[in-house]
């Protein structure tokens, strides 16, 4: 029976849960998540959890923040003048926005508070600092050479989806 090894192209259905059992993401209503093990496109703990699985196997893995999206970093929370959001911005708490600094390099931020003078942004990953549990089911293993190549170079959401990027 073939088991997942580094370099395999794998297809995994998953359900991600917090410690309280609340589901934060799942592939079950769509296609399985596919990725090449060892390419580093997913969180380390998820990739390690799939290693050694056989097609049809199910298992549950529990990840610490360090194995997932890292610890929360208070230095990644900062204030931005509200004028940076244009005239009459439509802002909401917990709204996720894409921020483009002057030096380029877009990144995702969450609005955690705002008033008429400033907006408090959190650029930590929304799952940073959280323990995560994943229920996994390995659906298929293929040779990575069979994976289609995209003009985007393979590093975008059109090439593989899921929460674990």
68 Cβ contact list (under 8 Å, min separation 6): 43, 45, 46, 127, 128, 130, 131, 132
Has residue 152 got a pLDDT over 70? no
For residue 107, what pLDDT band results from cuts at 50, 70 and 90? confident
Residue 164, pLDDT score? 42
Q: How far apart are the first and last CA of the chain?
A: 29
Percent of the chain with pLDDT over 90: 75
CA 63, CA 52: separation in Å to the nearest integer? 17
Has residue 45 got a pLDDT over 70? yes
Write out pLDDT tens, residues 48-60: 999 999 999 999 9
Q: SS3 of 46, please?
A: helix
Q: What is the DSSP code (8-state) at residue 23?
A: E
Q: Can you name the residues that pair with 130 across neighbouring β-strands?
A: none
Average pLDDT, the chain: 89
């Amino acid at each position: 029976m073939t088991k997942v090894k580094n370099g395999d192209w794998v297809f995994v259905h998953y359900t991600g849960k917090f410690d309280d059992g609340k589901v934060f993401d799942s592939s079950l209503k769509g296609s399985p998540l596919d990725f090449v093990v060892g390419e580093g496109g997913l969180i380390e703990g998820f990739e390690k959890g799939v290693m050694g699985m056989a097609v049809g196997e199910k298992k549950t893995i529990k990840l610490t923040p360090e194995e997932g999206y890292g610890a929360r970093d208070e230095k990644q929370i900062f204030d931005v003048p509200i004028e940076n959001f244009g005239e009459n911005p439509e802002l909401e708490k917990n709204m996720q926005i894409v921020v483009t600094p002057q030096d380029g390099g877009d990144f995702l931020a969450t609005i955690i508070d705002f008033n008429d003078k400033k907006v408090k942004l959190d650029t930590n990953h929304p799952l940073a600092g959280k323990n995560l549990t994943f229920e996994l089911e390995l659906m298929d293993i293929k040779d990575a050479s069979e994976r289609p190549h995209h003009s985007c170079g393979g590093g975008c959401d059109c090439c593989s989806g899921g929460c674990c990027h």
